[in-house]
């Protein structure tokens, strides 16, 4: 099995990224190698799951692409489809191939973790209805889907919008608003797949052990009062403190969020004289 190095990718990769099914069929008929992997050991089917329609995924599988191939971080093809919000692809894989909603891959992530990090609300609702457990925690870090959903500053379109739909859906299906996680859950990036795992989980030798934060701390940094409100309604502690610096949501807002967030927390009962 040959690895496709760096950006030196064959035509099939580019056809898949462009969702160009006619070109893909021509390349497959000409014996294009569908077993190529990149440096992360992601196959062309990973690219299809993220960039292409379910018809392209089906064509590649019919041509012999392996739906169960694993990447370096133990990721699966279905995780990439979930990350991109491709409900049709996820439903097809689930229906016709072995898949359980709580099947975890790299660092303990389920498809719902990828979906929550990407703020794919419709995809998340689909996975929750299939029985995915929103309390499953990453290894290491103990991060749940709620930590990621709470801290996101952008929607799936890349725009800022005060929208707590995903947070409320996770809570409705059992997410715990008072579970701590390490503060690397606050990292946000436009990276996807294996590159995202590098950012979130690769060791940082000079970094001290991260402190523990709660979903409400994450939501304060999102600058979205509706997320904070949803967490408070579900029983989150407005006075919760981080484990090292003892920061409350209001202290974090005063340092790193917006004046609107400070006003909102004060209106909701945050103590204005609390110190670290």
Angle at 17 between CA 95 and CA 102, to 5 degrees: 35
Q: What is the pTM of this model?
A: 0.91
User: Distance of CA 39 to CAs 32, 35, 114, 201, Å?
Assistant: 19, 13, 20, 18
Predicted pLDDT of residue 1: 43
Same fold, 1-99 and 110-276: yes
Contact criterion met (CB below 8 Å) for 219 and 241: no
- Dihedral sign, CA of 97, 103, 109, 110? positive
Phi, then psi, of 212 in degrees rounded to 5: -90, 140
For 1-99, CATH gives 1.25.40.20
CA 75 to chain centroid: 13
Tell me the angle at which helices 165-172 and 225-233 cross, rounded to the nearest 10 degrees: 20
Q: Bridge-partner residues for 37, per DSSP?
A: 3, 43
Report domain extents, the chain. Answer: 1-99, 110-276
Fold topology of 110-276: 1.25.40
pLDDT tens string, the chain, 276 residues long: the values are: 444 444 568 999 999 999 999 999 999 999 999 998 999 999 999 999 999 999 999 999 999 999 999 999 899 999 999 999 999 999 999 887 778 889 898 899 999 999 999 999 999 999 999 999 999 999 999 999 999 999 987 655 556 678 999 999 999 999 999 999 999 998 888 889 999 998 899 887 777 778 999 999 999 999 999 999 999 999 999 999 999 999 999 999 999 988 999 999 999 999 999 887
């Amino acid at each position: 099995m040959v690895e496709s190095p760096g950006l030196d990718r064959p035509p099939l990769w580019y056809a898949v990224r462009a969702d160009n099914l006619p070109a893909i069929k021509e390349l497959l008929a000409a014996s294009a190698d569908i077993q190529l992997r990149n440096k992360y050991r992601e196959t062309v089917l990973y690219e299809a799951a993220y960039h292409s329609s379910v018809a392209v995924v089906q064509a590649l599988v019919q041509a012999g692409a392996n739906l169960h191939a694993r990447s370096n971080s133990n990721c699966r093809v279905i995780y990439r489809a979930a990350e991109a919000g491709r409900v049709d692809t996820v439903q097809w894989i689930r229906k016709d191939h072995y898949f359980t909603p709580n099947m975890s891959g790299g660092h303990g992530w389920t498809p719902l973790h990828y979906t929550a990090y990407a703020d794919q609300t419709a995809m998340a609702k689909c996975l929750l209805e299939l029985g995915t457990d929103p309390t499953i925690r990453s290894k290491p870090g103990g991060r749940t889907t709620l930590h990621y959903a709470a801290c996101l500053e952008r929607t799936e379109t890349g725009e800022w919008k005060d929208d707590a739909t995903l947070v409320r859906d996770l809570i409705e299906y059992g997410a715990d608003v008072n579970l701590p996680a390490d503060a690397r859950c606050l990292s946000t990036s436009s990276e996807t797949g294996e590159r995202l795992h590098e950012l979130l989980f690769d060791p940082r030798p000079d970094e001290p052990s991260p402190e523990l934060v709660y979903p409400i701390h994450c939501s304060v940094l999102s600058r979205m009062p509706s997320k904070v409100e949803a967490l408070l309604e579900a029983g989150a502690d407005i006075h919760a403190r981080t484990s090292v610096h003892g920061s409350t949501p209001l202290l974090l807002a005063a340092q790193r969020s917006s004046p609107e967030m400070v006003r909102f927390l004060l209106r909701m009962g945050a103590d204005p004289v609390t110190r670290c």
